[in-house]
């Protein structure tokens, strides 16, 4: 067997091991097909994707390196809000609406994204993000309650707040939540 063939085999085994690690790290963290089945169809336990026709107001949120320019957002039960989100920072950041426990679980997933080169400081490896893992899911970050933005990118989330429960918006990239990149949703 040639060295070239051996390198190909080692690379293939490494990718398979990485996919397996991703699959175990991302179980029940709120991303991918599982959320699509449960979240969009039946509503998450902290709200659901909103309809543009139901938006009552728009909240602009700018992300800077390890903080948001808005510390909290007051909402009413049943209210639908459009969040316009812009990353004005030098690094990749996330805007994720979820309860604190969900953020804690999601941070493990984000650590795997960092370790596997998907999050690369100021950019994302989108090819790796869309790669299917062993469980058939990907790391696309195409969830209705979460966005991952490179510097200069903007997008929106339209969210309906159904129940009075403890909710935060946060960046779950390793160390960002812990350094204060989190805000409260107040009912």
Angstrom distance (rounded) from CA 82 to CA 54: 10
pTM comes to: 0.77
pLDDT at 16: 35
pLDDT at 134: 67
Are the CB atoms for 125 and 187 separated by under 8 Å?
Answer: no
Which CATH number does the domain 3-186 belong to among 1.10.287.990, 2.60.40.420, 3.40.50.300, 2.60.40.10?
2.60.40.420
Domain boundaries, the chain: 3-186
pLDDT at 15: 34
Query: Could you report how far apart the first and last alpha carbons of the chain are, in Å?
Result: 65
Angstrom distance (rounded) from CA 140 to CA 134: 15
Angstrom distance (rounded) from CA 112 to CA 135: 15
pLDDT string in tens for the chain (187-residue length): 544 443 333 333 333 333 333 333 333 334 443 333 333 333 478 999 999 999 999 999 999 999 999 999 999 999 999 999 999 999 999 999 999 999 999 999 899 899 989 999 999 999 998 887 767 777 788 899 999 999 999 999 999 999 888 999 999 999 999 999 999 999 9
The residues, any chain, with a CB within 8 Å of residue 67's CB and separated by 6 or more, are 180, 181
pLDDT tens across 5-52, in order? 433 333 333 333 333 333 333 333 344 433 333 333 334 789 999 999
């Amino acid at each position: 067997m040639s060295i070239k063939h051996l390198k190909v085999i080692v690379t293939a085994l490494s990718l398979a091991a990485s996919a397996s690690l991703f699959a175990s790290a991302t179980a029940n963290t709120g991303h991918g097909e599982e959320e699509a089945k449960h979240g969009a169809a039946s509503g998450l336990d902290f709200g659901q994707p909103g309809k543009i026709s139901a938006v009552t107001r728009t909240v602009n949120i700018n992300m800077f390196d390890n903080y948001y320019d808005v510390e909290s957002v007051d909402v009413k039960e049943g209210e639908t809000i459009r969040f316009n989100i812009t990353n004005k920072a030098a690094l990749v950041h996330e805007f994720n609406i979820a309860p604190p426990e969900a953020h804690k679980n999601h941070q493990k997933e984000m650590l795997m994204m960092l370790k596997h080169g998907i999050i690369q400081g100021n950019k994302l490896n989108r090819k790796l993000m869309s790669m299917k893992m062993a469980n058939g899911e990907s790391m696309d970050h195409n969830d209705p309650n979460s966005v991952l933005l490179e510097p200069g990118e903007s997008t929106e989330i339209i969210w309906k707040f159904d129940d009075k429960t403890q909710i935060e918006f946060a960046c779950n990239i390793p160390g960002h939540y812990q350094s204060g990149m989190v805000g409260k949703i107040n009912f």
